[in-house]
Chains A and B, each alone.
Chain A
């Protein structure tokens, strides 16, 4: 295996992982351009140059978009040649041009998954741990290896610094990644190899995020004049038109970007992510499903939320939603909405978010007698107080609502008792 001495990593990895920090240099070397020259040419010139240098680039990029728009988040092979490397900057630019976050998330997912599968397939390679360490060091993530560390009879060879760890672990939003549930001391989290590959996947997801602000109006008009680019953009819009359901979410009416004004911040944020094609975590899916089902939405409406997810599978989504609703026909117990305490521990509370945050969540609701009551449940008291806030309820309605909810409680209790 040819190791690129300067960077400590096999050349093949740079070809497979164009998001590595020195990958672009390998590309320049391949086309025989000095670093200096590369720095002096404009973005437009670079794109033109790459299309000229790699005649197959156009076809490969089109194939990529065909894949992701059909919810197939993978590269068609080969994935370890210089064209793969050259695709990366051009894909980033095209997606910034479209400004479409569903495509952007599909891009990051594809790179992230690809990284995970390449590394998982290497698990018999004895130097894999070393390679992982070198990848981290390439990315500026501090992670050391000590093969002699065992905890509870299991090998924990990786030790990652907490700032690096937290940067991605908190985005996985699952309690097993909480710092408190990890072996942690001396500023380091002790990890097994499987953990490290999953963390790397998240790093890649963050690292490959297109910069939507990178391209201004003028630049974009110029870019669109490049024949290959305009050809690709045309193809993208044709493809998207045939997969309308995924690219247009039914839960938001025209012009409404964030969702109903009665929804709490946490729910708005999840809906926003879903709408932009992010894969939701398990907890996010459940939270949104419980919320929908507990606010009089149908199973259809609820399944629709997941339609824009890149890994959407109608059968699974329907099954999970029906399960949350208490089995087919909703016969079993309907699951109750997570309360705020739970959501906070999952990092899903967004009370302070600059886009979705809400004073009601931060400061609590003020009762008539001046007493402040904290918001405890997004599907119950939040909506109630929001209505009060927005003057949506008449005083009599407030009383009515409170009473009827009491009544509902009582009938439910009675039913339970009589069972």
Chain B
């Protein structure tokens, strides 16, 4: 890896990229007095963009079980989904991982971008839309850069605080006065700005959708421990009462038989639904490297590109971020080198699944993707 390079202008950068053709290219999100210096001390920190990384890699999805797998390095046994701690065939602990993308995981990260921008950045933080710079990462997620002065000057503590806010970390039930006082329990007011109001709103939204929805939410294993079924039934039978209380902006949510503990479990589930799934480590790092806009992602061959927020809804990474024109004449001859190359859509066609040894003539973008994913090699 070559680091600490400084270019006098774009022209030099482009020449460097042409001559060295790196598989991955990054730039620093930090502004330095002397970016070319070798150590952080010598560089002279000035300020740093606030960067948010949303990546399907960090968000639990069900599709991962279908399209990711691990191969035992010792015996070649294949394990669907996450890699196991130990190979059940030979006890080996070293694996090659094949991690794939599909419409489902790409959609999940897009949804989280909308959540972050709409419910947090625009509403709570009141950041003008034009200050929100959105990029497709070239793989399975998005980067958001906030470059306003207010963000540039934030120290690490402040960045962590913002990340905690966005991810729902550190909500204190005690401070919010959530406790039972002689049989009367206070909840939150739907009008409140900030998290207490968010929780009230989310609860309300679920309750008005009726029993099946309530069950679906509070029994969804994706949020961890399910809500106790007795409590759940109590919720359902007191649904109307709670809806009324919340819409009256009342904080008296007492339902006989639901303990503080159960309420807290309810709130935890609500919190997980409300939070934006960002990669906290990226946002609090003051010396972060970020993929260079316009470069190709070395694991897909897709373009790292800027997207207008208004265009995000219709943005299709598997079509809009392809690096080469969709020309059927332009093909490459490749051979599959791993046991399974899962199905992938590129443009409007599906490719695969393929098996080891398959010899294929594929359009450039598709062939490039498989080679970048290290599941195929070029044939001559």
Contacts and interface: CB of A to CB of B under 8 A. Distances in A.
Interface of A: 151-152, 161-163, 166-167, 169-171, 175-176, 178-188, 190, 344-345, 347, 352, 354, 369-371
Contacts of A151: 189, 192
B150 A180 contact: no
A175 B153 CA distance: 23
A345 B175 CA distance: 15
A187 B127 contact: yes
Contacts of B192: 151-152, 183
Contacts of A182: 194
A180 B158 contact: no
Most chain A CB neighbours (cut-off 10 Å) among B124, B126, B194, B195: B194
27 contacts: A162-B150, A162-B162, A163-B151, A166-B157, A166-B158, A166-B161, A166-B162, A175-B175, A178-B172, A179-B161, A179-B164, A179-B194, A180-B165, A180-B171, A181-B170, A183-B196, A184-B194, A185-B124, A186-B124, A186-B126, A188-B126, A345-B164, A345-B170, A352-B284, A354-B41, A369-B93, A371-B93
B157 A176 contact: no
Contacts of B158: 163, 166-167, 170
A152 B165 contact: no
Contacts of A187: 124-127
B40 A354 contact: yes
A182 B176 CA distance: 9
B63 to A, nearest CB: 25
B193 interface: yes
B193 A169 contact: no
Nearest to A350: B156
B157 A352 contact: no
A352 B164 contact: no
A179 B162 contact: yes
B285 A352 contact: yes
Contacts of B172: 175-176, 178, 181
B251 interface: yes
B265 interface: no
A181 B93 contact: no
Contact of A370 (B93, B125, B176, B195): B93
Residue of A169, A176, A185, A369 contacting most chain B CB atoms (<10 Å): A185
Interface in B73-113: 85, 93-94
A185 B193 contact: yes
A29 B193 CA distance: 46
A178 B156 contact: no
Contact of B157 (A161, A347, A370): A347
Contacts of B170: 175, 178, 180-181, 345
B299 interface: no
B298 interface: no
Contact of B169 (A162, A180, A185): A180
A371 B85 contact: yes
A171 B162 CA distance: 14
A341 to B, nearest CB: 9
Interface of chain A: mostly helix, strand, loop or mixed = mixed
Contacts of B285: 352
Contacts, number: 100
A75 B125 CA distance: 40
Contacts of A370: 93-94
Contacts of A345: 164, 169-170
Given A170-B158, A347-B157, A181 B193 contact: no
Contacts of B157: 166, 170-171, 347
Given A162-B125, A163-B150, A183 B193 contact: yes
A181 to B, nearest CB: 5
Contact of B194 (A175, A176, A185, A354): A185
A186 B165 contact: no
Interface in B162-204: 162, 164-165, 168-172, 175-176, 189, 192-197
B372 interface: no
Nearest to A184: B194
Given A347-B157, A371-B93, 12 more contacts: A162-B162, A170-B157, A170-B158, A170-B160, A179-B194, A180-B169, A181-B170, A183-B193, A187-B126, A345-B169, A347-B160, A370-B94
B161 A169 contact: yes
Interface in B250-296: 251, 284-285
Given A169-B161, A180-B194, A186-B126, A163 B93 contact: no
B154 interface: yes
Contacts of A178: 161, 164-165, 170, 172
B123 interface: yes
Contact of A176 (B156, B168, B175): B175
B154 A180 contact: no
Contacts of A179: 161-162, 164-165, 194
Contacts of A352: 156, 284-285
A152 B93 CA distance: 56
Nearest 10 pairs between A and B by C-beta? A185-B193, A187-B126, A170-B157, A166-B158, A184-B194, A163-B150, A179-B165, A186-B126, A345-B170, A181-B175
Nearest to A166: B158
A176 B155 CA distance: 20
Contacts of A162: 125, 150, 162
A151 B176 CA distance: 12
A372 to B, nearest CB: 12
A101 B157 CA distance: 22
Contacts of B197: 185
Nearest to B153: A163
Contacts of B164: 178-180, 345
B193 A190 contact: yes
B127 to A, nearest CB: 7
A182 to B, nearest CB: 6
B168 A180 contact: yes
A121 B219 CA distance: 54
Nearest to A161: B150
Contacts of A166: 154, 157-158, 161-162
Contacts of A184: 124, 165, 193-195
B379 to A, nearest CB: 34
B154 A181 contact: no
Interface in B239-255: 251
Nearest to A173: B157
Contacts of A152: 189, 192, 251
A161 B148 CA distance: 14
A187 B251 CA distance: 25
A86 to B, nearest CB: 32
A188 B127 CA distance: 11
A375 to B, nearest CB: 14
Interface string B29-42: 00000000000110
B172 to A, nearest CB: 5
Nearest to B169: A345
Nearest to B171: A180
Interface string B53-70: 000000000000000000
